[in-house]
Amino acid sequence: MSLDRDDPRGLAHALAGVLKARILDATLAPGDRVPTETELEAEFGVSRTVVREAVTRLRAAGLIETFQGRGSFVLSAPEPAAPADGFAIRDRGDLAHVMELRIGIEGEAAALAAARRSPDQLRSLTRALDAFTRASPQETVEADFAFHAAVATASGNPYLGQVLSMLGARSILLHRTLVAEGHDLTDAEHHRQLVYEHSAVRDAIARSDPDGARAAMRSHLLRSRSTLR
């Protein structure tokens, strides 16, 4: 995969895409060191600023980890769930099925939360939204999952929370690494869109609007599912 210098999203996005492809096809395997900044500059003919931004995008997507003085290394793919859990998420097909499950249960969880939430649960949900809004790229996955978990808790149905816990933040992390080309889940505009969608869910729950909460959650998850195609 060559570097697309005409990518309208910029050279950093294009370089991150090339490196992501190498990671996903195991050209760069788990544990491998990512080429140094100097090596990437020489290979692709780009500036150090471009290289650093590309590496930041890969780190935010959970694909690599950087160690001071040692460089960046490819992370192991998240382990699939144990067979007893019933959620072995390995590829886009599995993840699409998980998204269909989430659309079904989380839409209803949001509707129930709007009807049943306590003042304390609404405050917890608002704190989770605030934390997601302020999250750095490296914190986004956990903050995203925490918001959805807070909705499930506010539903008052413990089984909804258990199902979401079985899926775990792993499903969100995999979504960030298995999306179709043309979607960048690490940029600021995408984060603003997610904040808007999460806010719509929280606002409907705050005004005790089950239909509105269900619709907002379904819209959010349907849009996320569409990026897998």
Q: Is the pLDDT of residue 81 over 50?
A: no
SS3 call for 65: strand
Q: pLDDT band for position 176 (50/70/90)?
A: low
Q: Does the residue 1 lie in any domain?
A: no
Dump pLDDT digits (tens) for 27-50: 898 889 999 999 999 999 999 999
* 200 plus 143 within the same structural domain: yes
Q: Is the pLDDT of residue 64 over 70?
A: yes
Q: Tell which residue, 206, 35, 176, has the closest CA to residue 115.
A: 206
* 56 plus 87 within the same structural domain: no
SS3 call for 49: helix
Last residue of one domain, picked from the residues 30, 54, 74: 74
* 70 plus 106 within the same structural domain: no
Structural domain that includes position 138: 83-226
CB 114 within 8 A of CB 205: yes
* 66 plus 129 within the same structural domain: no
Q: Tell which residue, 221, 226, 219, 214, has the closest CA to residue 107.
A: 214
Q: Does the residue 112 lie in any domain?
A: yes
Q: Supply the mean pLDDT for the chain.
A: 84
* 203 plus 90 within the same structural domain: yes
Last residue of one domain, picked from the residues 22, 48, 74: 74
Convert 207-221 to b/e letters by CB count within 10 Å (16 or more is b): eebbebbbbbbbebb
Q: Cβ atoms within 10 A of the Cβ of 190, count? A: 15
* 89 plus 67 within the same structural domain: no
Q: Does the residue 5 lie in any domain?
A: no
High-pLDDT (> 70) share of the chain, % = 83
Instruction: Return the ∠ at Cα 21 (arms to 18 and 26), rounded to 5°.
Output: 130
Distance CA 23, CA 65 (A): 13
* 63 plus 87 within the same structural domain: no
* 51 plus 91 within the same structural domain: no
Residue 163: give its domain's CATH number.
1.20.120.530
Distance CA 112, CA 209 (A): 9
Q: Does the residue 22 lie in any domain?
A: yes
* 114 plus 139 within the same structural domain: yes
Q: What is the pLDDT of residue 161?
A: 84
Distance CA 146, CA 128 (A): 6
* 161 plus 188 within the same structural domain: yes
What's this model's pTM, rounded to 2 decimal places? 0.62
Last residue of one domain, picked from the residues 44, 74, 104: 74
Q: Does the residue 51 lie in any domain?
A: yes
Longest dimension (CA), the chain: 59
Q: Does the residue 2 lie in any domain?
A: no
Q: Does the residue 140 lie in any domain?
A: yes
* 50 plus 94 within the same structural domain: no
Question: How many domains, the chain?
Answer: 2
Q: Does the residue 119 lie in any domain?
A: yes
**DSSP type of residue 186:** T
